[in-house]
């Protein structure tokens, strides 16, 4: 690749990197690297971006030990990344391999380990190599599972977990473009043979995507669904938050120097330690179902209980039980109904 093309490539990448960091320049950034073309291209582009900037570069490769080649792939990544200027660590998974939900279990474990190292090292940003093709596959996987607007929002360019910002600056590039970047810049990579196994759901979807693209059925226009879903999801969330402000009363423990009577019940807070939350059951059931679901998620978030938002199906079950005057437990909270009120409190 000539200097002009490399400059254009770096400029495009810089634009998308800043998009994922909300225009903040990272002081420290870590890259999740498997050794495949996607993550090696990401590592190269970040190293190019940081070449003349005061940014500390880290990289993590998780050796899951599922395949015989995984150790060699991790060692290959270590050599290549060290040459690029990264402080590289190989994190080895220990313990018994799961017998079900292998992809999901290992994914959670990988993130858990890498986020812990980010925390230890004071790294604020962890970059992963998700790209445009991954986005399309994710949209189709979720669509086939009956997802709504939230699911069709797809992979975000940035999400936060445990105070670490996980960024995806390659979402604007296709797999084909990433391979071209690697070849043009002499970047070597290792193919993970498990990516071709029909044992995993994403690989089946990937194969389907290839067939649909070859027939001219699947194009980048599918990403319009994601853009529209983001707009719709945002609008629905705004309505739910407005409804929550109008209907919810929060009980909380008294602040220092505050009487119990004045602390007993305030609209939307007044103290950080929330003891319970109440609202009119009649008014809640008047809301559209989609707003009810979001309303309950907002309410449960107030208690900082549970690591992730619960699945839609779980919230729907709770709503149906409330209609029948039955209580439930969700995200480590009790949800009860009595005397025309819905009351939510911590377990």
- In the prediction, which pLDDT does 265 show? 47
Residue in the block written with tokens 């602390």:
263
pLDDT for 135 equals 97
> For residues 290 and 316, what is the distance between their CA atoms, to the nearest angstrom?
10
Question: Is residue 153 a contact partner of residue 234, using CB atoms and an 8 Å limit?
Answer: no
Q: Which residues contact 316 (CB under 8 A, 6 or more apart)?
A: 293
The residue count for the chain: 347
Helix, strand or coil, per DSSP, at residue 186: coil
State the pLDDT at residue 61. Answer: 96
pLDDT (0 to 100) of residue 107: 86
Q: Are 269 and 251 in contact (CB under 8 A)?
A: no
- Domain spans of the chain, in order of start: 3-218, 229-346
Q: In which residue ranges of the chain is pLDDT below 70?
A: 1-4, 66, 95-100, 102, 194-197, 254-272, 305-308
pLDDT of residue 66: 67
Residue ranges of the alpha helices (H) in the chain? 3-20, 37-50, 70-84, 102-121, 132-144, 175-184, 201-214, 223-247, 260-263, 281-286, 289-301, 312-323
The two structure tokens encoding residue 65: 């030990």
User: Quick one: the chain helix, strand, coil %, rounded to 5?
Assistant: 50, 15, 35
**Burial class of residue 88, CB neighbours in 10 A (0-12, 13-18, 19+):** buried
For residues 174 and 87, what is the distance between their CA atoms, to the nearest angstrom?
28
* pLDDT number for residue 256: 54
List 279's β-bridge partners, or say none.
342
| % of the chain residues with pLDDT over 90 | 72
Phi, psi of 21 (to 5 degrees): -105, 10
Taking each helix axis as running N to C, give the angle between helix 223-247 and helix 289-301, from 0 to 180 degrees, rounded to the nearest 10: 70
The hierarchical CATH code for the domain 3-218 is: 3.40.50.620
Which of the following CATH numbers is that of domain 229-346: 1.10.3110, 1.20.59, 1.10.287, 1.20.120? Answer: 1.20.59
pLDDT of residue 303: 87
What does the pLDDT read at residue 267? Answer: 45
C-alpha of 100 from chain center:
22
Q: Sign of the C-alpha dihedral, residues 228, 108, 97, 193?
A: positive
The pLDDT of residue 228 is 97
Rounded to whole angstroms, how far apart are CA atoms 202 and 102? Answer: 12
């Amino acid at each position: 690749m000539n200097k002009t093309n490399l400059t254009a490539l770096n400029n495009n990448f810089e634009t998308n990197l800043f998009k994922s960091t909300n225009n903040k320049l990272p002081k420290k950034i870590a890259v999740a690297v498997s050794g495949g073309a996607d993550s090696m291209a990401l590592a190269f582009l970040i190293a190019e971006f940081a070449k003349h900037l005061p940014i500390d570069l880290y990289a993590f490769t998780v050796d899951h030990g599922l395949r015989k080649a995984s150790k060699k792939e991790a060692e290959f990544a270590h050599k290549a990344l060290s040459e690029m200027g990264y402080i590289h660590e190989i994190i080895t998974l220990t313990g018994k391999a799961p017998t079900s939900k292998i992809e999901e279990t290992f994914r959670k474990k990988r993130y858990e380990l890498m986020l812990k190292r980010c925390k230890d090292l004071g790294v604020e940003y962890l970059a992963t190599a998700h790209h445009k093709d991954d986005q399309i596959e994710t949209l189709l996987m979720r669509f086939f599972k009956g997802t709504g607007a939230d699911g069709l929002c797809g992979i975000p360019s940035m999400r936060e977990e445990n105070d670490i910002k996980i960024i995806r600056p390659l979402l604007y590039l296709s797999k084909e473009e990433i391979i071209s970047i690697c070849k043009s810049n002499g970047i070597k990579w290792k193919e993970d043979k498990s990516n071709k196994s029909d044992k995993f759901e994403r690989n089946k979807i990937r194969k389907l995507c290839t067939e649909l693209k070859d027939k001219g059925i699947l194009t980048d226009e599918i990403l319009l669904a994601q853009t529209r879903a983001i707009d719709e999801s945002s609008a629905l969330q705004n309505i739910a938050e407005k409804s929550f402000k109008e209907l919810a009363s929060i009980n909380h423990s008294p602040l220092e120097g505050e009487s119990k009577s004045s602390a007993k019940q305030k609209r939307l807070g007044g103290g950080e330690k929330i003891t319970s939350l109440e609202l009119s059951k009649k008014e809640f059931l008047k809301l559209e179902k989609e707003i009810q679901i979001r309303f309950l998620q907002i309410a449960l978030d107030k208690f900082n209980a549970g690591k992730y938002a619960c699945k839609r199906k779980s919230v729907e079950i709770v709503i149906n039980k409330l209609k029948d005057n039955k209580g439930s437990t969700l995200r480590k909270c009790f949800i009860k109904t009595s005397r025309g009120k819905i009351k939510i409190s911590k377990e």
